[in-house]
Structure 1
């Protein structure tokens, strides 16, 4: 890869670096039980995963809930999640080797997640993954979370790479839409939803044993059109799934 014109790989965290969607759903479900809500958390996440927890929670109440209360609920969910996931923290199969090989091949690498700094530290520092990323962008670094473009736009800007030379790894519809809004292509991981549910990824993989940096480079060099975001898929009304 020419050093003067590198490409960038940008990764979501939940469902991409780690396969944790079922545990996230369990934490939400326990919170909903305590709040007397009957919402199906797994179905909810299949639609809205990738958005900040407060925004996800906002959708399950009939009446508006004050921001501070939503933050309290999100913190409760985070505690439940960490307790449930403590002994299960594992990198996605093939991830570490893929990241090592990608950096050796000249790719810039960034992490763009809707989680906060404390949450990502619980994952990427425990798994010793931070060293593989040139840039780490969290919800604390952007004004608007997914499906807005901010997360990936800011990551690309900090990497110093034009959007059209970036490719995003996502497992969620909201994240896929954020990538397209940012003017980037996407490779999807089928850890949270079925492959057919995505809009138009370049490729769908189960984990990082199914792809190499050379294959990603080939996809980028084809210079395929960047999909236009789907207004329908970016809607937040999970009840219409």
Structure 2
């Protein structure tokens, strides 16, 4: 029986992949990095340290440090996203229906806590979650299952009692490896055909408004 719902953030609570790409464009231009786009496309859903190791030159990492580089990039992201941020269609309604059904909710995101708080506050949904697990709280980010194992435990549940909402391959793999009962995937980052052919998603949706019956996700 499903008793909990675990939500990824980037690409799930908000459709923000394009904003992160814009932020990386601004950030990488500061350091003269030009070959970052393809590397970034293979890293969606991963933690900032892993992403920085993929796209930034080793000499820049040695000089600045991973944490400082990540903080700089995320500050750019929040600055450009704040004026236009909004939740994925149907999210607030779904969260209300889950709460009414007695389903506990948690965020399980590879993003930093500042970004998680930023999204929840700006979208007006901070009070909808019983627990928050960000990338700062774990030692291994997605596709490792630690984030979802920790988020389920924070709800005093097992992953087998939870439905996970995701958008990226790394996150879907993390949910599968954690043992999630059901994985619902949004098409905000990858096309439906790619998700169907290359991931372990149980249900693929364009947005939360498509979930007319909670039974389709709580089976």
Q: Is contact 2:176-2:200 (8 Å) kept?
A: no
| Match in the other structure for 1:142 | 138
Q: Choose which of 174, 177, 186 in structure 2 pairs with 1:178.
A: 174
| Structure 1 position 201 matched with structure 2 position 201 | yes
SS at match of 1:204: strand
Please give the alpha-carbon distance, in whole angstroms, between the structure 1 residues aligned to 2:54 and 2:41: 14
Say whether the 8 Å CA contact 1:6–1:161 is kept in structure 2. Answer: no
Corresponding residue for residue 232 of structure 1: none
Deviations 1:73-122 (CA, angstroms, capped at 9, x unpaired): 21221121112111111011100000000111121211111122222111
Q: What is the TM-score normalised by the length of structure 2?
A: 0.90
- Equivalent position of 1:216 in the other structure: 217
User: Could you report, residue by residue, the CA deviation over 1:33-61 in whole angstroms, capped at 9, with x for unpaired residues?
Assistant: 221112243x4444211112221010124
Equivalents in 1 of 2:87, 2:63: separation in Å?
33
| Cα drift, residue 140 of structure 1 | 2.2
| Correspondence for 2:54 among 49, 54, 59 | 59
8 Å contact kept, 2:173–2:200: no
List runs of 5+ in structure 1 lacking aligned partners: 221-241
Match of 2:150 in 1: 154
1:48·1:172 contact (CA, 8 Å) conserved in 2? no
Query: 5+ unaligned residues in a row in structure 2: which ranges?
Result: none
Give 1:112's aligned residue: 108
Q: Is residue 8 of structure 1 aligned with residue 4 of structure 2?
A: yes
Paired residue secondary structure (1:187): strand
Whether 2:184 is the aligned partner of 1:187: answer yes
Taking the aligned partners of 2:206 and 2:63, their CA distance within structure 1 comes to 36
Give the count of matched residue pairs.
213
Which secondary structure state, in structure 2, belongs to the residue aligned with residue 66 of structure 1? Answer: helix
Q: TM-score, normalised by structure 1?
A: 0.82
What residue number does 1:80 align with?
A: 76
Distance 1:92 1:127 in 2: 10
